[in-house]
Amino acid sequence: MYHNPVLLKQSVDALVTNPDGIYVDCTFGGGGHSREILSRLSEKGKLFSFDQDLDALKNTIDDPRFTLVNQNFRFLENSMLAYGISKVDGILGDLGVSSHQFDEAERGFSTRSDAPLDMRMNVMQSLDAKKIINDYEEEDLANIFYQYGELRESRKLAREIVHHRKTKKINTTEELKSLFSYIPAFKQNKFFAQVFQAIRIEVNQELEVLKEMLVQSYNILKTEGRLVVISYHSLEDRLVKRFLKNGMFEGEPQRDIYGNYAKVFELLQTKAIIPDDKEIEENSRARSAKMRVGIKL
């Protein structure tokens, strides 16, 4: 299985309201969500799916209603305009790393396998995990671990890395992990997950890319069009929640004389939608998933 889609039925139920409409799947991967979307569309419907990972191209769908765009979804608006599309009925984003990317040991995403420090979702880009670990300044490393990994001991981690690399480059995931052998065994899984998450987010500029996608989604959605986003950690979910609430990522929105601010989305459901126990049991990746749905006003 390339990728077991999370919240498959719930996300597509929320997304597809017009069988004749135009839809976008920002994260094609193995095509699980895309195939489900296509099953809900009429012959007039259209689906455009984005994926920057060359591996995902092997999963393309032979369907005249389907177009696979080999691009990062940060280029959503311009890519759609290139196809002559200015407005769409719904946009889905299933964020994070696919099961396939984790399972391909040589990509360096997994904490379980020894592999080159890579973590690039787009293997054509120059910045990889090895460059970050060996070339970034100590203060920049500390900031990445603190902001993207939410690690309180971020300065200590950065200091350890910089001290070690003075004598020997850090080339693999196991070499990186070996620097922190002092972490108690019962804490290691969570600790290394946070370290790897921080590096991966920096390599792929995940939070900046997400912000760009959210803003562009609002621009190209029709009124009453739906934005469905599935996130897997609090940093992503916070951005999505805030954007759906008031169209901003930071700061305070302007309010009218009555203290109300102009809403840009109506929420389909106030609380995040999460997988049930059965799905989590069948697919461990679903454990941290949160889905939010906005209807453009």
Binding-site residues from annotation for S-adenosyl-L-methionine: 31-33, 51, 73, 94, 101
d(CA 288, CA 270): 18
- Is 122 in a helix, a strand, or coil? coil
In the chain, count H helices and then E strands.
12, 7
Q: Is residue 116 within 8 Å of 105, Cβ to Cβ?
A: no
Cα-based angle 157, 198, 116 (whole degrees, multiple of 5): 85
Q: Is 212 exposed, middle or buried (0-12, 13-18, 19+ CB in 10 A)?
A: middle
3-state secondary structure 37-84: HHHHCCCCCEEEEECCCHHHHHHCCCCCCEEEECCCHHHHHHHHHHCC
d(CA 176, CA 160): 10
Which residues carry a binding-site annotation?
Answer: 31-33, 51, 73, 94, 101
Beta bridge partners of 132: none
Q: Is residue 213 within 8 Å of 74, Cβ to Cβ?
A: yes
d(CA 282, CA 146): 32
Q: Is residue 143 within 8 Å of 197, Cβ to Cβ?
A: no
Beta bridge partners of 69: 50
Backbone angles phi, psi at 45, to 5 degrees: -70, 160
d(CA 231, CA 106): 25
